[in-house]
Amino acid sequence: MNNNLSKITRRNFLQTTSLAGTSTFFAGENLFFGRSSDTIRVGLIGCGGRGTGAGIIDCAESSAGIELVAIGDLFQDHLDQAPQAIQKNLEKRNLPVKDIYKVTPETSFVGFDAYKKVIDSDVDMVILTTPPNFRPQHLRYAVEAGKHVFIEKPVAVDPVGIRSILESTEIAKRKGLTLVAGTQMRRLSSNREIIKRIHDGAIGEITGGQCFRSGSGMRTWREDEKVKRNDWSEMEYQIRRWLMWSWLSGDFVVEMHVHNLDIMNWIMNAHPVSCIGLGGRQARTGLEYGNVYDHFSVEYTYPNDVRIEYMGSQIDNVPYRSNQRVQGTKGSAELDFRQGAITGMQNYLSDGRASNPSVLQYKEMIDSIRSGKAVNEGAQIAESTLTAILARMSAYSGQIVDWNWAMDESNLDLSPSKMEFGDIPRMEVAVPGQTILE
């Protein structure tokens, strides 16, 4: 990853970039979807469970006229398994497989440069579902090639990656490209309704809040790749087990709980100014769990000294919970991934369980491409990802982390010096008070 990226502060960036989530007509290159029909040709980069089981399937369900024409993955066995997995998942949703699946052996690519070959194929948009460390590099190549992009969350694992994402967002804006992030909970109807009411003053001024998510220990994730094979290099093993290595996933607070922190930023209509965090690993301690933690606890300070407490865990046999709550001067609001409620002067309950935000995010993206009215969510997802990265940096080091310092000055780049198969060291588990804040 390039360490010499030009410095982009949030203030300077937002002066030249559209606000995240808006639908705006941009003048510039590649303005319109230019085919003679409404067919949109899609390339899939990353053929794991997310790409073959959700990404292209949700995309195909969202709109008519979607064709998957190229796929790419780092591993040959994943690429070989992808066609059957994709076609089977299309059938499960009663989608016309032959009309959608147009991939051929000539448009199936493997290796570290597979993403370039997919992007360079005759595609209109790409779906990026590789491990998060690769996303800044892949997004840059895609927008420079003039492709619309769906980028899964999170979009980076360190501040250097975030600055690259912001630069690519600027390029996409200049070219009038649609850039949509996989924060589908922004499409959940109950979230939209409740947060609009919060912004309209339903609970008054926000004075504090909590963000909580506990889930399983992910012990069965890619179980067939849990033990390193003799023919795998250390690099290959770690990438196959990417969820368990912070340089690839960002740790679970970044990789998964970015959803919850994204909702909190949306509620607050701001990003935090600093945070202080704790964390560790007590339940997942084996070598197969890499160097990630299994629990975090973080205090975020938002503008006007509003404190938001986040707690998260990935530990088996503890109660599941995933919700966000804020207290205001006139009441309170609580949201989970099913419904939302306001308690105060005027109580209100909104149920989002009938909607499918994972499909809706693609529908809104496809509509924007076909209308020529670009949607650009780059700044929004970059901020939410950095919010989660701050939590990890603080918990790993035991230090207070300032937003402006992380955005503008931190030189933390978790990527190895060479992105190729071979021997690489195993990153140690961070120890607060000893791990250096970079």
**What is the residue extent of each domain of the chain?**
10-185+359-376, 190-354+386-408
Mean pLDDT, rounded, for 151-168? 98
Q: Which amino acid is at 137?
A: Q
CA distance 432 to 278: 8
pLDDT digits (tens, 9 = 90+) for 64-91: 999 999 999 999 999 999 999 999 999 9
- Bridge partners of 325, per DSSP, are 210, 334
pLDDT mean over 342-365: 93
pLDDT at 37: 64
Q: Which of 30, 32, 29, 103 is nearest to 66 (CA)?
A: 103
- Check whether 423 has a pLDDT greater than 50: yes
Structure tokens given for 315: 């530990």
Using only C-alpha atoms, the chain has a radius of gyration, in whole angstroms, of 21
Q: What share of the chain is helix, strand, coil (3-state, %, to 5)?
A: 40, 20, 40
390, 403 Cβ separation under 8 angstroms: yes
Considering the chain, what percentage of its residues have pLDDT values greater than 90? 89
Say which CATH class 190-354+386-408 falls into.
Answer: alpha beta
Handedness of CA 153, 114, 3, 29 (dihedral sign): negative
Query: What is the pLDDT, as a whole number, of residue 355?
Result: 77
Residue 280 DSSP symbol = E
Identify the CATH assignment for 10-185+359-376 out of 3.30.930.10, 3.40.50.12780, 3.40.50.720, 3.40.50.300. 3.40.50.720
Mean pLDDT, residues 186-208? 97
Q: Measure the CA dihedral 17/19/22/25, to 10°.
A: -20
Give me the chain's average pLDDT, please: 92
Tell me if the pTM is above 0.95.
Answer: no
CB 148 within 8 A of CB 179: yes
pLDDT band per the 50, 70, 90 thresholds, residue 352: confident
pLDDT digits (tens, 9 = 90+) for 338-351: 999 999 988 999 99
Rounded to an integer, the average pLDDT of 36-49 is 90
Identify the weakest region by mean pLDDT among 37-41, 92-96, 144-148, 329-333.
37-41
Given a cut of 50, whether residue 28 has pLDDT beyond it is no
* Phi–psi pair at 375, nearest 5 degrees: -105, 130
Is residue 34 predicted with pLDDT exceeding 50?
no
The predicted structure's pLDDT at residue 346: 87
| 177 bridge partner residues | none
DSSP string, 211-266: EEEEE---TTTTGGGSSPPTTS-HHHHHHHTGGG-HHHH--HHHHTTHHHHHHHHH
Ramachandran assignment for 305, one of left (phi > 0), alpha (psi -120 to 50 degrees), beta (any other) = left
What average pLDDT does range 274-299 have in this prediction? 97
Q: pLDDT digit string (tens) for 381-422? A: 999 999 999 999 999 999 999 999 999 999 999 999 999 999
Q: Which residue has the tokens 């960036």?
A: 13
Distance of CA 68 to the CA centre of its chain: 22
pLDDT digits (tens, 9 = 90+) for 214-262: 999 999 999 999 999 999 999 999 999 999 999 999 999 999 999 999 9
H helices of 256-310, where? 258-268
Which pLDDT belongs to residue 345? 87
The burial of 98, by beta-carbon neighbours within 10 Å (0-12 exposed, 13-18 middle, 19 or more buried), is given as: exposed
Q: What percent of the chain has pLDDT over 70?
A: 92
